[in-house]
Amino acid sequence: MGGIGAGFNVVSSMSLLIQYSKKADREKNIGQWEMCSGLGLLVGPLFGSAFYSIGGYAFPFMAMGIVYAVMVPIIAIGLRIAKEEREKASQVTQTSISVLEHRYAPVKKRELFKTPRFTFALFSQSILASTF
């Protein structure tokens, strides 16, 4: 059950990240998201065991509930600000749309494996998926 929830979380958070990021910052933001996910996988058990030893079985869940309750309004405000900035930046002229269409033309599958960024991302995701 946790794997299904984690899968939903990954897909929805990545789509929100892509949707609300500026095009110039998109790759940097995805990298930061991946870094934070990795750090969470590394230090999560440490904090969970520390919380368990402090307050018993229910304490780690209560602590995360408090963290989520605090983060929801912060994330909602951040998404609203990002949406407003994106709407301001989306005033694009027709000529720049044609430039973007040319820049983001479909890529052949074999060409993707020649780019180091794609190959590294594929490799890191396969390693991460194999750890579960």
pLDDT in tens, 68-85: 899 888 888 888 887 787
pLDDT in tens, 39-78: 888 888 898 899 999 999 999 989 888 988 998 888 888 8
* Host domain of residue 66: 2-130
C-alpha span between 36 and 30 (Å, rounded)? 10
Q: How many domains does the chain have?
A: 1
What is the arithmetic mean of pLDDT over 91-104?
55
Nearest C-alpha neighbor of 82 from the set 35, 27, 36, 18: 18
C-alpha span between 5 and 112 (Å, rounded)? 30
pLDDT at residue 31 greater than cutoff 80? yes
Sign of CA pseudo-dihedral 23, 28, 32, 33: positive
C-alpha span between 27 and 107 (Å, rounded)? 18
Question: In degrees rounded to 5, what are phi and psi of residue 108?
Answer: -70, 150
pTM comes to: 0.52
